[in-house]
Amino acid sequence: MRRWSELAERVAATTRTSAKTDLLADYFRSADPDELAIAAVFLTGRAFPEADQRATGLGWATMSAALAAVAGVDRAALTAAYDRFSDLGLALEDVLVTAGHAPDPAASPRLREVAASFSQIESASGPAAKAAIFEALIARCDPSTARGVIKVLSGDLRIGLREGLVEAALAKAFDRPLDSVKRAGMLVGDIGRTAELARDGTLETAALELFHPLKFMLASPAEDAAEIVRRLGPLVWVEDKYDGIRAQMHKRGGTVRLYSRDLHDITSGYPEVIAGAQDLIWDGILDGELLGFRDGVVLPFVALQARLGRKAPTPQILADVPVVYVAFDVLGLGGGAGDPVRPLLDAPLTERRRTLEGLGLPLAGADDGAGGIFALSHLTSADSADALEGAFSEARGRRNEGLMVKDPGSPYSPGRRGYGWLKMKKALATIDCVVVGVEVGHGKRHGVLSDYTFAVRDEANDRLVTIGKAYSGLTDAEIAEMTRWFEEHTVSRHGRYRVVEPSIVVEVAFDVILRSRRHQSGFALRFPRIARLRPDKPATEADTLETVARLFEELQPGAERLVTAAARAGSGAPEP
Ligand code: AMP
């Protein structure tokens, strides 16, 4: 462990990535055969491999009490050292050095002994039992080794190591192609195991294994629709972004397990999903979202919260908050009856979706009345920023958070926050506006008046002032009905644009309020979308300019600065 601690120190002191890689590669090459895996796992700042369900369960209070005892100081001294370093490992080292802590070097624990102690701490029950094992371990460590142990335990390595760098060092140490190391890492989900495969030249044997959760593919936030189309376009796939709990489902025969985003086994919390999946004839791995769902309606996230973290939900909770598994991806598939599961990670999303749709998932609310536990994510495509914004409004209209925009050709990249998936952020607030103008829409909305210009009330001057324009997020039936109404209440026509009687109130969602000279109000909404009609509200009760100004101050304190900065840069106020 001492050598590992020293390596960590040297890596921390080096800023150049290539130098860090060299140091690590040298270390890996000379590592003890049965300690290579442990060293690699520790280097990613973990006491156990990532997909391992275990955690030591040592809290700060327990740890600091034990450390103070070993150093023979009171906890205040340790806290003072922590305040100086903002790092528990360095603070402890300092306190131990000052205390003259110098155990017999021959007793210094080896990596495997440290790993064994971590396992014992994990299985010990109660803080006192855990503290005793921990204290005995630290007592054997010289100050520098103790620093390393603490850094691993606190997950606070601060040596600038990402898993990618450890993979690069493994490739270099054992002269393997980096892609092979990454691929194996992705499949086995354990950097320690990957290290051994790289050393032994057996990276190709890495396979997708059922009941070993893969890291989840992540999405990058996107600034706006135009940026999304620029990055992924021209044609993008658009799914609703559901506000639930991400879950990976593994199935072999009648055994079904669910894993959370942090790779924990959450199977026991969702017995109805497990029961609903057991009889499917294939084996494989799905990616999806658990949603509260009752009588055909998605329940708000707050309802689902009652089930979060519950290992054994009561019959009452199961009845109050039933869930549905909205599947949006398939990561591996086998024919059942013990067939090996073929990874689908490299297949394009188009193929994975086709496979998913062919799985015969029993859908909730299906016509056959069987009442399955599954749903498939709502999927459409878009080929322009306008279409994407329209889809956003529609997703919001279905009461979902927003959109996940996906590159139809993209592979499934576990654990990567790449640009294959982009998420369109949820709105911060909504305001109720009066529709003052309408236009015919584009695409499938070309025959209907679906683009609305809307306004808020300027009470001081007793008038309506425009604040934005958006593509309707209403249902086709609502749009048809509103088109008839607007045709009948057109005040004047200016080419495509109609000024209409200001009576219809709509709830408009947006991301940011900006100052803008484009609209009469002096404000503009970024990402405005019409969330719903407010037939219950007369125009006199629409939101006011004063409210908008207040929201501008409250919600986006940075917006003013953004405008100023842009103006200084000579580009004027940013337009939505
Ligand atoms: P965020 O949590 O804001 O980073 O957004 C990403 C999360 O959105 C994912 O981890 C999923 O839990 C969730 N999500 C909801 N709907 C989808 C979808 N259709 N595709 C992928 N992820 C989704």
219 lines ligand 1 (CB under 6 A): yes
| CA trace torsion 558, 400, 485, 455 (10° rounding) | -10
* DSSP character at residue 442: S
Which pLDDT belongs to residue 417?
66
**Residue 421 CA, closest ligand 1 atom number:** 21
Ligand 1, pocket-test mutation among 243, 245, 423, most atoms within 8 A of CB:
423
Place of tokens 């990249």: 413
Residue 162 has pLDDT above 80, yes or no: no
Q: Give 429-464 pLDDT, tens digit per residue.
A: 678 899 999 999 887 777 899 899 999 999 888 789
Residue 210 has pLDDT above 70, yes or no: yes
Which pLDDT belongs to residue 82?
78
Span from the CA of 241 to the centroid of ligand 1 (angstroms): 6
Residue 509 has pLDDT above 60, yes or no: yes
Residue 399 has pLDDT above 90, yes or no: no
| pLDDT, mean over the chain | 86
Which pLDDT belongs to residue 201?
97
Cα gap 455→432, rounded to integer Å: 9
**pLDDT interval class at 494 (50, 70, 90):** confident
241 noted as active-site residue = yes
Written as six digits, the tokens of 522 are 């002096």
Question: Who has greater pLDDT, 338 or 421?
Answer: 421
Residues 6+ apart with CB under 8 A from 529: 389, 392, 393, 396, 427, 470, 471, 473, 508, 509, 510
Span from the CA of 538 to the centroid of ligand 1 (angstroms): 37
Q: Omega into 414 within 30° of 0, i.e. cis? A: no
Mean pLDDT across the stretch 407-432? Answer: 80
* β-sheet bridge partners, residue 435: 454
Residue 567 has pLDDT above 70, yes or no: no
Residue 565 has pLDDT above 50, yes or no: no
The CA-atom distances, in angstroms, between 253 and each of 250, 285, 339, 363 are 10, 12, 10, 20
Amino acid, res. 464: L
Least confident of 29-33, 50-54, 546-550, 557-561: 557-561
Mean pLDDT across the stretch 1-22? Answer: 92
Question: Who has greater pLDDT, 338 or 432?
Answer: 432
**Proportion of the chain above pLDDT 90, given as a percent:** 50
State the greatest distance between any 2 C-alpha atoms of the chain, in Å, as a whole number: 93
Residue 395 has pLDDT above 60, yes or no: yes
Ligand 1, pocket-test mutation among 236, 242, 290, 378, most atoms within 8 A of CB:
242
Nearest CA to ligand 1 atom 18: 241
Which pLDDT belongs to residue 81?
84
Which pLDDT belongs to residue 340?
85
- SS3 of 333-364: EECCCCCCCEECCCCCHHHHHHHHHCCCCCEC
328 lines ligand 1 (CB under 6 A): yes
Counting Cα atoms < 13 Å in the Cβ hemisphere of 220 gives 14
User: All domains of the chain, ordered by start, with CATH?
Assistant: 46-154 (1.10.3260.10), 218-425 (3.30.470.30), 429-561 (2.40.50.140)
Residue 521 has pLDDT above 50, yes or no: yes
Residue 576 has pLDDT above 50, yes or no: no
Residue 408 has pLDDT above 60, yes or no: yes
248 lines ligand 1 (CB under 6 A): no
Pairing of β 374-376 and β 323-334? parallel
Least confident of 40-44, 404-408, 526-530: 526-530
Backbone angles phi, psi at 258, to 5 degrees: -120, 140
Cα gap 22→14, rounded to integer Å: 11
Mean pLDDT across the stretch 455-478? Answer: 87
Ligand 1, pocket-test mutation among 260, 289, 328, most atoms within 8 A of CB:
289
Cα gap 120→342, rounded to integer Å: 37
Residue 4 has pLDDT above 50, yes or no: yes
Residue 327 has pLDDT above 90, yes or no: yes
**pLDDT interval class at 221 (50, 70, 90):** low
539 neighbors 505 (Cβ within 8 angstroms) = yes
Span from the CA of 427 to the centroid of ligand 1 (angstroms): 15
Which pLDDT belongs to residue 145?
95
Which pLDDT belongs to residue 168?
96
Catalytic residue among 151, 172, 215, 241: 241
Amino acid, res. 382: A
Residue 558 has pLDDT above 80, yes or no: no
Which pLDDT belongs to residue 570?
32
Residue 154 has pLDDT above 80, yes or no: no
Which pLDDT belongs to residue 264?
86
Q: Give 529-555 pLDDT, tens digit per residue.
A: 898 888 777 788 788 898 888 778 765
289 lines ligand 1 (CB under 6 A): yes
